[in-house]
Structure 1
Amino acid sequence: MFPGAIADRETADYAVLGAPLDVSTTFQPGTRFGPERVRRFAHTFDDYDHHTDQFFTELAVHDAGDERAWDDAEEYLTFLEGTLSDLHAAGTVPLLVGGEHTVSVAGVRAADPDVFVCLDAHLDLRAEYDGNPLSHATATRHALEVADEAIVLGARTGSPEEWERASEADVTVVAPEDVAAWAPDFDSDREVYLSVDIDGADPGFAPGTGTMEPFGLTPREMRDVVRAVAPRATAFDVVEVNDRDDGQAASLAGKLLREFVYHHAASR
């Protein structure tokens, strides 16, 4: 259980759901261990948040466990979308913990947002990767099949075709050096999906991820984005944590999840 997620499902305002999909991760696989590690390395966190004057255990968070993954990504995403749609229908905000970034496709389809905001080292705008149209490198392109706009914060690499797609009007890319000055400026009536790919962080802070990319974001910069976007978001995910470090990536992921809950709840 995610520490502090003690609410019953029937009364929960938020629900942690693990999605340990690990079929297309490149370079360093292991995202199947992500949800378990995020839970484990969150045990050190205090219940009380001074910034919002709230206790995590009082914010009606439920841990719905993991949605067991299998090798057919398309079938799994359809199943996962159904589970997430049930949470939305019950008025519960999903907190999806990956798993590879492909699980965000199910999250976005279930939430049906206007804007997809993502912290990510990569553009993830490929039409396919190694012949796979449901690769983790295609997550943002798939999100744009649902959302009207994508904002990718911290991206620092991509193919020529991805950068060409990113130049279109429905995509905004904010370079790592500009993220600290970024603030949401979309209309208040637009629904937002917030996705955190842990590789958005510089690998010096979060080496436990599949495709490390230097010159990335600091944990504080990522925290500030989560705090700013959370009040406008209808769903959240954190993805691409694996077991290739001593817990740094998982700890950061768990802390960002809690920051989302604190600041979303404080805005209600």
Structure 2
Amino acid sequence: MFPGATTDREAASYVVVGAPLDATTTFQPGTRFGPDRVRRFAETYDDYDDRTESRFSALGVHDAGDTRPWDDVEAYLDHLAAELRSVTLDGAVPLLVGGEHTVTYAGVEAVDPDVLVVCDAHLDLRDAYDGNPWSHACVTRRCLDDLGVDRAVIVGARTGSEAEWERAADTDVEVVAPEETRAWLDGLDADAFNTESVYCSVDVDGLDPGFAPGTGTMEPFGLAPREARDLVRAVAPRADGFDVVEVNDRDDGQAAAVAGKLLREFARTHAAADGG
């Protein structure tokens, strides 16, 4: 159980769902261990938060456990989306913990946002990778092209194929480079995303691997943890769903620790904005 997620499912405002998919990882596997690892390394965090004057255990969070994957990725995503849709139909906010980034497709399908805000080192705008359109390298493209997301904002991106950068030049994509992130965050006002529904996805490889080495495809020159935190805080008040993905077991817990903290930051900020 995610620490502090003590509310019954029927009364929950937020529902944690683990999605330990590890099917298309292209370098270092291990995302199947991500959900349990994030839960484990969140155990030391204090329940009380002075900034929001809230107790995480009082926010109405429930942990629904893991939705176990199988070999058919497309069928699994359909099943996972149905599980997450049941959360939204109950008026709660899904908090998805991956697993590889492909699981974001299911979260977006369930929430049906106008805007996808992603923290990611990679553009993930490939139409297919090694012939597979369900690769984790294609997830943002799938959300735009297949799920009808109006636009994607990719924060922290610093690598992609030539075709991906060409796709990123289209009007439905905004790329915020790591060195531009602080100015972009400082330029957001209270009305940012005010008229749009938003889904927020954090791939931990968006952070510099010096801070979060436990991920499948490390890419240097990334975000600092405070920038990722401030991104989550900025987006959370307008978001209807959240995920943190691509944590694996190949470090001493750094990636899992920041992932668990970002999940808590999202829930606290969302609840405070909602009057909770």
Is 1:212 matched with 2:218? yes
For 2:172, the aligned partner's letter is D
Give the corresponding residue for 1:240.
Answer: 246
Name the SS for the 1:46 alignment partner.
Answer: coil
TM-score calculated relative to the size of structure 1: 0.99
> Identity, % of aligned pairs?
67
> What is the rounded CA distance, in whole Å, between the counterparts of 2:45 and 2:92 in structure 1?
23
RMSD: 0.8
Give the corresponding residue for 1:27.
Answer: 27
Give the corresponding residue for 2:183.
Answer: 181
For 2:123, the aligned partner's letter is L
Name the SS for the 2:37 alignment partner.
Answer: helix
Is 1:18 matched with 2:18? yes
Aligned residues: 268
Name the SS for the 2:16 alignment partner.
Answer: strand
After TM superposition, give the deviation of residue 186 of structure 1 in Å. Answer: 4.2
> What is the rounded CA distance, in whole Å, between the counterparts of 2:36 and 2:25 in structure 1?
17
> What is the rounded CA distance, in whole Å, between the counterparts of 2:78 and 2:57 in structure 1?
31
8 A Cα contact 2:193 2:238, kept in partner: no
> What is the rounded CA distance, in whole Å, between the counterparts of 2:109 and 2:54 in structure 1?
31
After TM superposition, give the deviation of residue 71 of structure 1 in Å. Answer: 1.1
Give the corresponding residue for 1:198.
Answer: 204
> What is the rounded CA distance, in whole Å, between the counterparts of 1:19 and 1:108 in structure 2?
14
> What is the rounded CA distance, in whole Å, between the counterparts of 1:170 and 1:27 in structure 2?
29
After TM superposition, give the deviation of residue 187 of structure 1 in Å. Answer: 4.2
> What is the rounded CA distance, in whole Å, between the counterparts of 2:71 and 2:159 in structure 1?
28
After TM superposition, give the deviation of residue 181 of structure 1 in Å. Answer: 1.6
> What is the rounded CA distance, in whole Å, between the counterparts of 1:234 and 1:147 in structure 2?
14
> What is the rounded CA distance, in whole Å, between the counterparts of 1:104 and 1:52 in structure 2?
27
Give the corresponding residue for 1:148.
Answer: 150
Give the corresponding residue for 1:48.
Answer: 48
Find 1:224's aligned residue among 222, 230, 250. Answer: 230
Is 1:255 matched with 2:261? yes
Deviations 1:57-115 (Å, cap 9, x if unpaired)? 00000000000111110000000000001000000100000000000001101110000
Give the corresponding residue for 1:81.
Answer: 81
For 2:99, the aligned partner's letter is G
Give the corresponding residue for 1:159.
Answer: 161
Give structure 1 stretches of 5+ with no counterpart. Answer: none
Name the SS for the 2:131 alignment partner.
Answer: coil
After TM superposition, give the deviation of residue 189 of structure 1 in Å. Answer: 1.9
Give structure 2 stretches of 5+ with no counterpart. Answer: none
Name the SS for the 2:101 alignment partner.
Answer: coil
Give the corresponding residue for 1:168.
Answer: 170
> What is the rounded CA distance, in whole Å, between the counterparts of 2:49 and 2:234 in structure 1?
16
Give the corresponding residue for 2:7.
Answer: 7
Name the SS for the 2:211 alignment partner.
Answer: coil
4+ residue runs over 6 A deviation: none
Q: How does 1:120-135 map to 2 (within 5 A)?
A: 120-135=120-135
Give the corresponding residue for 1:36.
Answer: 36
